[in-house]
Amino acid sequence: MNYDIIVIGSGPGGYVAAIRAAQLGFKTAIIEREELGGICLNWGCIPTKALLKSAQVFHYINHAEEFGLNKSESTFEFSNVVKRSRGVANKMSKGIEFLMKKNKIDVIFGTAKIAKGKKVNVTDKEGKTSEYSATNIILAQGARSRELPNIPQDGVKVIGYRKAMTLDKQPKSMIVVGSGAIGVEFADFYNTMGTKVTIVEFMPNVVPVEDEDISKQLEKSLKKSGIDIMLNASVESIDTSGEGVKANVKTAKGNITLEADILLSAVGIASNLEGQGFEEVGIKTEKGKVLVNEWYETSVPGYYAIGDLLPTQALAHVASAEGITCIEKIKGLHVETIDYGNIPGCTYCHPEVASVGMTEKQAREKGYELKIGKFPFSANGKATANGDTDGFIKVIFDAKYGEFLGCHMIGTGVTEMIAEAVVARKLETTGHALLKAIHPHPTLSEAMTEAVAAAYGEVIHI
């Protein structure tokens, strides 16, 4: 069967690209080897947030007396927490199924492999292979948990993020290798539920891509919650011959051995390039990523790639934006290229972390003279009423022109608030304009105005 557009992969990049293609009148098909929605909806973004919500509710129950409430003994069935998370994921996947039908997109289940001449061979579960063709093929196969040679995953004692969501029973202890978004989110979840957690991070800071002030605050908050953190450390080898797992960890003071029930390897992701037919077609890759132009066309005309296949930020909202941009350019619409310097990043641990734009270090390295403002949630009325005052908002402006260079937040609810900074930067809003934008009281968002005011020496509440 011949299509205008065939999309391979139904994650946030693929399914969004398929829907936009159908909206623009393209005859569209989408190919998926597992569940609609890809990793994000089924094994990533959505189910992890469901787990973290359960942990948050459990935390509130255990701290009820701080809110003037009496509580009885709080217990839980770990399997029910996992069951709820899987239910949320399944509901979202069914929602994508509805959207495919609504937009008259053909859904083809099976494992796809591209071929020359803009062909796609799809092998179903029974082993039957069918051939499809399209004028344009969108590659959106995503990524998987990165596996290090010295930390091989057996799916039992040494696991990746996927298994971490569906453990049969809660471990009493866990080693988390890597403190990026995946690592700290799972560390926070398991710690809150009662698991003894140790984070091992190779870099000198947790969440190392974030502004240094944010990293230091998160480290302080995680330690306060009971998580042990080892920085400038690396797991050299593991031993799973006993009941649990032993990790030989190299530190500045020498090697030590950590023991736990389970080790979670959260050292990043690897793009799904193998066995896709890329080499046979002639699609160029470099350092494990597909090379594309500004409109996501690969080295072979008619083949496009988006999402985690690319060296851009491995985020669901980035993949979606790339998919829409790619399809609209194929249609011939007037399209802006994506500004990768204005992509928000969010980590949903407690406290949450959210950021956009340059860190202070990056801005100084670029030679900017800066105006920097910080405002703590401990001085915010709504945060105090919420009983959750850890964190702050930090804003960075160019001192000469007032350009909004970066915004970095840590605290409850900041993943919802970061969008204000994204829109402000998109509209090229200056510090003075933000300062005069009246925010409602009492809200957490007032901390944004106060942080800007602090940058300009006009802060009121500290």
For 389, the 3-state DSSP assignment is coil
- Is 441 among the residues known to form the active site? yes
Residue 354 is labelled as binding a ligand? no
329 appears as a binding residue in the annotation: no
Write out the DSSP string of 262-284. Answer: EEEE-S-EEE--TTSSHHHHT--
Pairwise CA distance, residues 263 & 39, whole Å: 21
In whole angstroms, give the CA distance from residue 101 to residue 94. 11
Report whether the peptide linkage leading into residue 47 is cis, meaning its omega lies within 30 degrees of zero. no
Tell me if 201 is assigned to a ligand binding site. yes
Residue 206, marked binder:
no
Which of 59, 63, 408, 441 is labelled catalytic? 441
CA distance 420 to 26: 34
DSSP string, 320-384: HHHHHHHHHHHHT---PPP-GGG--EEE-SSS-EEEEE--HHHHHHTT--EEEEEEEGGG-HHHH
Residues 6+ apart with CB under 8 A from 244: 157, 173, 259, 260, 261, 262
CB 189, CB 164: distance < 8 Å: no
Q: Which residues contact 437 (CB under 8 A, 6 or more apart)?
A: 449
106 is in an annotated binding site: no
Q: Is 365 annotated as a binding residue?
A: no
Please tell me whether 180 is known to bind a ligand: yes
Confirm or deny that 219 is annotated as ligand binding. no
Q: What is the DSSP letter of 308?
A: G
11 appears as a binding residue in the annotation: no
Contact in structure between 449 and 439 (CB atoms under 8 Å): yes
Task: Confirm or deny that 307 is annotated as ligand binding.
Answer: no
User: For residue 301, what are the contacts with CB-CB under 8 A and spacing of at least 6?
Assistant: none
Q: Is 268 annotated as a binding-site member?
A: yes
- Residue 142 assigned as binding residue: no
Q: Active-site residues: which are they?
A: 441
Known binding site: residues?
A: 49, 178-185, 201, 268, 308
Known binding site for FAD: residues?
A: 49, 308
Known binding site for NAD(+): residues?
A: 178-185, 201, 268
